[in-house]
Structure 1
Amino acid sequence: MTEQHVLLAGSERPVKHDARRVRDAGAKDSVSVTVSLRGAGLDENPEQRRADADKTKAVLERFGLRSSDESKIPQGSLGMTGTVEAMNKAFQTDLGIYHSDRQGDFRGREGELKIPADLQGIVTGVFGLDQRRMARRASFTGHGAFGSLSPADLEQRYNFPGGDGGGQHVAIAEFGGGYLDADTEAFTAKHHLPQAQVDVVELGYTPPRSWQEIQQMPRQDQQAVMEVLPEVMMDVQIVAGLVPAAQISVYFTNWDQKGWIDLLDQALADKPVALSISYGLPEDDPDWADVAIAEIEKRLSAAAQLGITVCVSSGDDGSGDQMSDGRCHVNYPAASPSTLAVGGTMINGGDEEAWWVAPGDRAGRGGATGGGVSVLFDRPDWQHNVRVQTLNPGAKAGRVVPDVAALAGPPYYDLILHGRPRPNGGTSASAPLWAALITRINAQLPAAKRQRFLTPLLYQNGASAAMLDIGVGHDNASFPQPGVGYAVQKGYDACTGLGVPDGTALLAALQ
């Protein structure tokens, strides 16, 4: 019997510009995919969702695939595994091994996918066939800064309300890397804080948990872990320092599109008050499949409906976001209207201003807050008073990034890595700070006002008055491209958004 197949809309992947195909993927090699079902996100019709999953499983089993994870069916995802040969037949593709200097060898594909005709209208996405990296940590790394800020300094600067986050759940997204329990313990001990409750959640990736374990890894794997490790430890220590009594879940996933789907499915299942994401790519990066953006958006929208505020860094490379086409770009998923996009500031002579230190000058610890106008997402109703115009000729008046800001540049955050002081920063730091603030505020709100998606509320008069405007600083131009940036100005701007928080005033406004 010959199976009929139909195109899976939006599934096209381009030839990766910095990679080449070196050989076919091994026919008997194992592949795990996440299959997205119609209506993914909120489980509004459990019986239909279960029926869709059962039919999908039965059809794909005809090709030799088998169910590997049914735990996320309520979120609209079904895990399936099979050989490369079976995946090629089931989805009418040609999996190969590609090589790039940046990523090394990885499994990939080109062109569109097809799905069995029996699944038309039921299966809306297939993720995990192509393992190209679709997340980039903020590229800034601080070092050797004098006077970096402790948790107590941050609480004072942003007037955090009292409390320790007890009874609250906050989550952190990590792509690869490792987690050193000993460093978090040393950090909390240094600052006289209780030991944090950190729960490592493995979503297809198992992080090393000690320096000894990292040293025993093959050199290439060790380098990959070490590249991301400072990011992970910064995220966790910032949250642990500000809400030490909260339950902290750290989601470890892979760098590909499947990783994004898997971590958001986990967040929908767990329902934390806030999810901090210090990773992203330009929203218009050609490596995104249209269906990936669409399926991520379904899950981000569902998170907002569940009252999860997803705090996302706006990027550390200014208006260009590491693209070199001469246009301005914004980071995704910070560009999503279902997130809280977080920009960066720095402290200059005691005053706080927009973060800009010659982006691209890594030796000089350069970097600049990301921000700008989306080319993918319309401007949401709650930004109707925002007057920022796009710097891209002919582009629409889209969603503006960021919404808010916090410290990203000098003097950085007081952190520990490998048992030693390691100041760090970037908007990768301002995002977990906001996640921690939201967690602490939520603990003190009346029951009826808890667990709300806060971004639209921050634009209302009462809450916006609790923000401290950042009206000075350099624009966020990236060099050499595009060479122009969004201006810092009084009131809302596309560098620091509404400004930095007065936490106690914000709690009062949200009550």
Structure 2
Amino acid sequence: MARRAKRVGLISAGLAAAVCVTGSLAYASASAGGGDATAGASPTRVGTAPHLPASAHTTGSAPAGQQLQLGVNLQPRDPQALKAFIQAVTTPGSPLYHHYLAKGQFGREFGPTQATIDQVSAALRAQGLTPGHVSPDGLTIPVAATVAQASKAFGTGINSVKLADGRTTVANTQAPLLPAVIAPVVSGVTGLADLAPAASHVRNSGKHGKAKPIARTSAPRLTTAHATGLASCPSIGSSLATNGMVDTRNYYSPAQLASAYGLSTSATAGAGQTIAVMELESVDSTSIATYQSCMGTNVPFSIVPVGNTSGNTPPNNSTVGVESVLDIENIMGLAPGAAGVVDYEGQDGSNSSLPQNQLDVYQQMVTDDKAQVLSTSWGLCEGYTPDAFRNAEANIFAEAAAQGQTVVAAAGDSGSSDCYGADGSTTSLGVDDPASQPYVTGVGGTWMNGSGSLLAQRVWNNTTDGHNQVAGGGGGASSKWPAPAFQGGITGQGTRSVPDVSAVADPYSGYLLVLGSQSNPTWKIVGGTSGAAPLWAALVAQANTSAGCQTNGQVGYLNPSLYDAARANYGGAYYDIRTGDNGLRNLGQTSYGAYPNYDLASGLGTPKLSGLVNSLCGAKGTAATGPGTYHTLTAPTRFLNTYTGYGQGVSGTSTSRPLPAYGTQPVRITGQHGVPSSGVTSVVLDVTIASLSGGGQLTVYPDRAAKPGTPQLSWPGANRRISVQVTVPVPADGVVDLYSNATVHMTVDVMGYYSGATGGAKLSVLPTASRVLDTRNAVGVGTKTIVTNNTVTFQVAGRGGVPATGVSAVMLNLGSVNSTGAGYFTAYAGGASRPGTTNLSWMSGGPYVANTAVVPVSANGTVSIYVTGTSHVVADVQGYYGSGAAAQFTPVTSTRLLNSQVAAGSTTPVPVTGHAGIPAGAEYALVSLTSASASASGSGLAYATGGSHAWMADWYWLTGQTTSNEALVPLNSNGQLSVYSSTGTRLQVDVQGYFS
């Protein structure tokens, strides 16, 4: 069952341990309760003016007396702490994993402080408004105002706007103007614009989208209860057959849906789970009762009205009420043992100020915290959602994630052109909100036919199947949200990609509804992603009742687990949809096709719950910690190559495309290529990038951890190829993430790993580095000839302070000198087969390029370096791993120790111990050294403060460039190192771990 964090102490202590946040999480906002910092400052506009749909036009100023229902939406008191908490409760191995917030705890921990709420309320009253009671989570202050009052208070005109559907509504002409004292804590003001109401994503299937009578039986009830709770009543089957409708061909009954997706057919499936549905229409409770009678289910059903719903149009099961019936009956048929289905009913589209009411519905679903799973089949083109509305939604859904609630949303029925569904004219690319929200699981649509081994699926698109309807599964790239880390390496996009997953949505192979009273029942078949979303809600409810979730905590925020499942066992967790596209051909759109693994038409695919449930609910291991010894891989291995598509990404298969700017590429490290599946504390990687879109930075860090602000590699512009060695901690899931803020191709090679297991080697660091190879001066070799596409083999053992025997690997600083053209080095044990890896790389000839590498040593004590291209080769040994060494390595969260402009010829001391958890007594530090924007070409070296240092540099740079390298540096007795810089530069020192 769900594990809820009951005490503030558990949250604070657990999160501090997980993400290095110290103290209570009840941080006061910088602006809360103290206006002095902004006293006298000018008012600030928050957000942007709304974007009018293409088919809308302004008809003049809105009537001054027209009533508006507004919401002044506040930020959480510390958005970063909230984000970190959500990360912690969804990260395997975290002390807070699945320890969700208890009901009502969000406001106390993450909501705005009372001082902030009072300050905002006072500022609103000062503007002539009357604020209402703040929502239970503290995120919304309701305000009822006339157009005149709102226009004056928020410094904006408000126009009447006529929409394509003939409805007249309102839109503000400027972003709302707020007093400077409250602007920083307000995410936006909603209700000033209502340009495109949320639409239902339900679709009819031509003639079978109309209700058909069910033949009466002599029994007073349609049927008796079924043992499984999933079999259709015989009278429906007879009526369907009469109309030529065949299960698994023209429609899917609940039993066949369960069979197709691996759901349980037990009458107790979903036991104990409450599922909430968001509806913006009235529902026919009689039809729900008739369905339950027919199907033999007995799921408690209730309606919670939100706002004034008295004016909602009564259901007619033709134009009003079909969406609600589809959602509710779908869930009841697939989770017949559920503790309840709750319909949160908001105002329908005939009411004014609908946007704020939509938020009110979502907010009440979350603050009530009655349901473990929330489903919505209503949405709006993302491009027409005002910033204020979208930001308020995001905070509500973040609250749901913190509480362990799963939110699923239909991805839309207008294919790749979501805004077409909003205004009937815009055919440009677009996705649906809230499906595109990062804390929401967007559900796309497929066509499905058959069952078992004959099951066939493709992307739903009624413009390519002969039906010529403007309908297809929604999907594409968000224009509002950046790429979340959980999608890194899968989508190939630099933004949030939709959908996440899919299910059947084609109305011609759709969902069977029962309508009307028991005395006059009818059936109809409908589709749309409106059916796919509640199907996934029922699936999550079933997963939550599995033994794994009962032991390890309910699924909660679903997206990270969905993508983890793809990493661990893609084929076992999903049906891969590889056929079709979601471009609406009759609108001229052919944008997103189905491809192997993830695509923007079907997401990860459709579910196989039996294979998916372990990733959603299985026991999660913890990351190995503590000091470790080094285990050399005799054959260093390439894990990822975006040029050729080879490698282990999240799905375990190739992508063959560059990593986009601001994209994240996860790489599975453990359990393959000689790296064990458990006990690994950190790995040594050689990463090579080729920049395609300009200067940038690469950051490598443990998967599901917060991305540190300490990149290990930087480059000054496009058309650069550069390598860096990175030693990175390995998390419980065995995956590390690579993030780039520029578009790059990359390769990732693993050289070895640290663990506490026996058989590893300890480290000995040389007091000063020693040069063991220099082809310019015949050091280590018998010639001064520059090397071209050839191998250099040289002796390491027994030279420069390295013992003659017992050495398994050495840490070398490799240098390419006086190269011509592009090239790279591959370093490996002398005499061994040359691996397909890269230790140092360059795009064009240059004076000096350096990179550190841990290199295996052969039994006779030699190392080989193969030069691809033409270059002199230099190698300086910094330390060695062997049986006679003493130090073990402990990784830390990458932490910046120094970021300072230094003068030419300066030496800068850098304290190490006492930072990033590094204890006194640490002997050596593994650091990343960076020179940024150097005033002239130069070099730098690091050494123990007060000690001697070698004349060989650790890294080199050119004028104006940013260059990095990893270095192994002794510490003095006070735990300090020093860095010498030959030219003026911005010097950055980041620590990755320590040896002791």
What range is the shorter-chain TM-score in? 0.7 to 0.9
Counterpart residue identity of residue 544, structure 2: N
SS at match of 1:489: coil
Q: Secondary structure at the match of 2:269?
A: coil
Say yes or no: does 1:238 pair with 2:330: yes
Supply the distance in 2 between the matched residues of 1:279 and 1:430 (Cα, whole angstroms). Answer: 12
Contact map agreement 2:299 2:340 (CA 8 A) in 1:
no
Q: 1:149 corresponds to which residue?
A: 252
- How many residue pairs get aligned? The number is 486
Q: Is the 8 A contact 1:179 1:207 kept in 2?
A: no
Residues 111, 359 of structure 1: alpha-carbon distance in 2 compared, 3 angstrom cutoff? farther
Matches within 5 A, 1:131-146: 131-138=194-201, 140-145=203-208, 146=245
Question: How many Å separate the matches in 2 of 1:155 and 1:15?
Answer: 42
How far apart, CA to CA, are the structure 1 residues paired with 2:601 and 2:110? Answer: 42
CA separation in 1, counterparts of 2:593 and 2:504? 18
- Percent identity, aligned pairs only? 25
Look up the equivalent residue of 2:374 and give its one-letter code.
L
Following superposition, the deviation at residue 424 of structure 1 comes to 0.7
Corresponding residue for residue 399 of structure 2: 302
The answer for the alignment partner of 2:270 in structure 1 is 165
Please provide the CA RMSD for this pair. Answer: 3.0
Question: 1:219 matched to which residue of 2?
Answer: none
Residue 447 to residue 370, structure 1, CA distance change in 2 (3 Å): same
TM-score, normalising length: structure 2 = 0.45
Q: 1:221 aligns to what?
A: none
Residue 345 of structure 1: how far off its partner (Å):
1.5
Question: Within the alignment, does 1:52 sit opposite 2:116 as a pair?
Answer: yes
- How far off its partner does 1:190 sit? 1.3
Report the 3-state secondary structure (helix = DSSP H, G, I; strand = E; otherwise coil) of the residue aligned with 1:33.
strand
How far off its partner does 1:153 sit? Answer: 2.2
Q: Among residues 507, 520, 523, which one is paired with 1:421 in the alignment? A: 523
Pairwise mapping of residues 420-459 of structure 1 onto structure 2 (< 5 A)? 420-444=522-546, 445-459=549-563
Any gaps of 5 or more consecutive residues in structure 2? 1-39, 83-105, 209-244, 619-996
Mapping for residues 357-368 of structure 1, pairs under 5 Å: 357-359=461-463, 367-368=471-472
Alignment partner, residue 800 of structure 2? none
Deviations 1:98-145 (A, max 9, x none): 323415122333222212344332333111122322422226323544
In 1, the alpha carbon distance for the partners of 2:593 and 2:59 equals 45
What is the CA distance between 1:13 and its match in structure 2? 1.9
Matched, 1:121 2:184: yes
Question: Which stretch shows the higher mean deviation, 182-191 or 91-100?
Answer: 91-100
Residue 449 of structure 1 aligns with an amino acid whose one-letter code is G
Between the aligned partners of 1:15 and 1:476, the Cα distance in structure 2 is: 25
**When you count strand as a share of all residues, which structure comes out higher?**
2
Instruction: Report the secondary structure of 2:582's partner residue.
Output: coil
Contact 2:544/2:554 (<8 A) preserved: yes
Closer, same or farther: CA 167–96 of 1 in aligned 2, 3 Å:
same
Q: Which residue type is aligned with residue 18 of structure 1? A: S
- The structure with the greater share of residues assigned to helix is 1
Q: Distance in 2 between matches of 1:483 and 1:24?
A: 37
Compare 290-299 and 335-344 and name the one that shifted more.
290-299
Corresponding letter in the other structure for 2:327: D
Q: TM-score scaled to structure 1, two decimals?
A: 0.85
Comparing 346-355 with 332-341, greater Cα deviation is found at 346-355
Partner of 2:668: none
Aligned to 1:183: 287
- Corresponding residue of 1:471: 577
Q: Is residue 2:365 matched to residue 1:267?
A: yes
1:18-68 per-residue CA deviation (whole Å, 9 max, x = no partner) reads: 333445444344332111113278435579532222222233223443233
SS in 2 for 1:126: strand
Aligned to 2:438: 337
Change beyond 3 A, Cα 1:454–1:197: same
1: CA distance between counterparts of 2:613 and 2:471?
31
The change in CA–CA distance for 1:166 and 1:150 in structure 2 (over 3 A counts) is same
**Alpha-carbon separation, structure 2, partners of 1:364 and 1:116:** 53
Contact 2:446 2:458 in 1 (8 A): yes
1:6 aligned partner = 43
Please name the residue that 1:32 is paired with. Answer: 69
For 2:590, the equivalent position in structure 1 comes to 484
Quick check: which has more Rg, 1 or 2?
2
Measured after TM superposition, the shift of residue 450 of structure 1 is 1.2
Q: Distance in 2 between matches of 1:130 and 1:361?
A: 38
Q: Residue 220 of structure 1 aligns with which residue?
A: none
Q: Which letter maps to 1:334?
A: A
**In the TM superposition, what whole-angstrom CA distance separates every residue of 1:297-332 from its partner, at most 9, and x where no partner exists?**
222233223222211112222222244666432222
Give the deviation of 1:158 after TM superposition. 1.6
User: 1:276 is matched with which residue?
Assistant: 375
Q: Distance in 1 between matches of 2:116 and 2:559?
A: 33
Q: Which residue of 1 aligns with 2:664?
A: none
CA distance in 2, matches of 1:440, 1:377: 30
The 3 A distance-change label for structure 1 pair 424 and 446 is same
Q: Counterpart of 1:374?
A: 478
Provide the secondary structure at the position in 1 that maps to 2:416: helix
| Whole-angstrom distance in 2 between the partners of 1:172 and 1:268 | 11
Distance 2:333 2:406 in 1: 20
